[in-house]
Amino acid sequence: MLEALARGERSAWAEFVRRYAGLIVAAVREMAREPGEIEDLVQDVFLRLCKDDFRLLKSYDSSRAGLSTWLTIVSRSTARDALRRRRGQEVPIEGVAESRLAVDPPEPRHPVKLPQALLSPRQREILAMLYDRDMGVAEIATALGIDPQTVRSAHHKAMLRLRAHFAKKEGG
């Protein structure tokens, strides 16, 4: 079916939508705050899949994940990016009551000591950009000149390594 999609066959697209729309709806449903938002997020996912002559669909690699798993990941990351963009544009800060902007002072942060070889330099940079500088995936990808999926992948691998490292420390 993916080859037929890549060739632009309408019947293949109709079959793809029929087969995977429910999966995509389920993947984005928990991220939406309002029922109407679900439809918009699903539309964003389908648009991303079609964009640039189905470039993203053509990049699917069956040796790395099943199509359902891959579509779930793509759907959630697309929805997350879309929500960040939309929610960042909703209300100018001048329109928010000052009392709503008040926050408790942050607790002092103590830097975590990690073995130098635990994370690659790219993983360290991506984590710093995500968590210290509060940058979004698309913004990081642009800054580093890499694909957003590469940012997500490096983040995921770094988190797996950190979890394994701290699990060992807690266990023994």
CATH of the domain at 164: 1.10.10.10
Higher pLDDT, 104 or 84: 84
CATH number, domain of 33, equals 1.10.1740.10
57 and 135 fall within a common domain: no
The pLDDT, as a whole number, for residue 119 is 92
d(CA 114, CA 111): 9
Return the DSSP state at 96: S
Give me the domain span that covers residue 12: 2-90
12 and 83 fall within a common domain: yes
Burial of 87 (0-12, 13-18, 19+ CB in 10 A): exposed
- Percent of the chain, pLDDT > 70? 83
Domain count, the chain: 2
Average pLDDT of span 131-160 = 91
Residue with tokens 């544009």: 89
25 and 81 fall within a common domain: yes
151 and 73 fall within a common domain: no
64 and 31 fall within a common domain: yes
pTM of the predicted structure, to 2 decimals: 0.49
Q: Would residue 166 count as lying in a domain?
A: yes
Q: Would residue 99 count as lying in a domain?
A: no
d(CA 74, CA 145): 20
